[in-house]
Every structure is written in structure tokens, then in C-alpha cells.
Amino acid sequence: MRFGGIVLAAALTLGACSSDPAPREPEPSASTTTATPAVAVPTMPPQASEDSPEGAAAFVKHYVDVFNYAAATGDVEELRRLSAPSCEGCERYISLYEDTYKAGGYFKGGDWKIGDLKLQEDPNETFATTDVEVAPTTYLRNSTSSPTDGPTTRTTITFGVVGSSDSKSISQLALGEA
């Protein structure tokens, strides 16, 4: 920004010595004003579409990647698509991320890292239980609040997976003790 100001000042000074109009600095474009690089929505791996225990495990891992993406960006569209409307825990996180970013807040850090998944199959649902480590995070509720820092935490979560192939979704998030 300093360099642009120096160039503009020099141009105005030189412009005063001639009849030519002073050059104007170009308006900033969206690409020059972006503070952080664009982050892409995680792509679902082919294995996550399989109708198998391995497919359910791959789907849960993908869901956590999308969950982390939504927390970092406020873009909840894919998280909403992968969450069953009846999943109250999913909806709470979706609302939290959506509302926080709309209010000018953010989440920095706090990614979920999952451990080994223990699967339990039911005729209509597969349950995947894992220990989750949540990295330290900084949370800003809205544009007028002060940031809050959170420590590393650990908990156990059970994900309910329903559906088959490309129509899988998370039906529940059940929190437990680590």
C-alpha cells in the first residue's frame, strides 16, 4: 500500500508540471483484495460411495474433512448436503458456523482429527465410533466481539451413517467421554 501511495504522489507531482491529466491508480479487483488463498471443498473419495463397512468409514473421514472446511470458511453447503435433516448435532454445528461467519466472526484452527474407527453395523445404519482430537482454536463470535482461545481437547464421537452409494448422510453425532 505504501508503494502505491508513493507512485500516486509522484504522478500527481509530475502531473502538475504538464497539461496531461494525472494517472489514476486502478481500482482493486477481487483477486487483489483476497487476504487468504481460496480453499476448495474436499472431494469425496470413491471408496466413500461403497456399500460396505470400509465405505462407511471413508464417508465419515470425508465428512470430518468437510466439517473442518466449513469451520474454516463458513461455507456450510456441502456439510448440510452430507448431514441428514434429522441430525440435531449436525444442524447445531451448521447453524453455529453459518451464524458466526454471517456476523463477521470466524474460527481459526480447531480442526478435528479422528483416530481409528470402530464400526458397528445395523440393518439400517452403520455406527462409527472414534476418538477425536480438536486442535487449539481461536473463535470470534462476531465482528464486535473479542477473540476467544480454546485448548486442545479430546472426546469420543459416534457418527451414524445412513443411505447407500452417493446418497449417504450422517444421521447423528453422539458425543462421549475420551
DSSP track, 12-41: HHHHTTSSSPPPPPPPPPHHHH-SS---PP
Answer whether residue 171 is part of any domain.
Answer: yes
Residues 26 and 63 in one domain: no
Cα gap 75→96, rounded to integer Å: 11
Measured in residues, the chain has a length of: 178
> In terms of domains, do 167 and 97 share one?
yes
Query: In terms of domains, do 87 and 168 share one?
Result: yes
Instruction: Note whether 106 and 161 are same-domain residues.
Output: yes
Instruction: Give a yes or no: residue 39 inside a domain.
Output: no
With a pLDDT cut of 90, the percent of the chain lying above it is 74
In this predicted structure, the answer to whether residue 34 has a pLDDT above a threshold of 90 is no
Which pLDDT value is given to residue 38? 63
Indicate whether 119 belongs to any domain: yes
CA distance 83 to 79: 6
pTM, rounded to two decimals: 0.78
- Domain contains 160: yes
Residue 8 shares a structural domain with residue 62:
no
- Mean pLDDT over each residue of the chain, to the nearest integer: 83
Domain count, the chain: 2
My answer on whether 7 and 62 are in the same domain is: no
Average pLDDT for residues 76-104, to the nearest whole number? Answer: 98
- 72 lies in the same domain as 151: yes
55 shares a domain with 29: no
Residues 20 and 58 in one domain: no
| Domain CATH number, residue 142 | 3.10.450.50
Q: Which residue, among 162, 130, 146, 166, has the nearest Cα to 45 in the 3D structure?
A: 166
pLDDT single digits (tens) 38-83 = 689 999 999 999 999 999 999 999 999 999 999 999 999 999 999 9
Same domain, 25 and 66: no
Instruction: Flag whether 102 is in a domain.
Output: yes
Is 40 domain-assigned?
no
Q: Are residues 167 and 88 in the same domain?
A: yes
| Domain range for 150 | 51-176
Q: Domain for residue 42, yes or no? A: no
The answer to whether residues 166 and 101 belong to one domain is: yes
Which tops the pLDDT comparison, 140 or 5?
A: 140
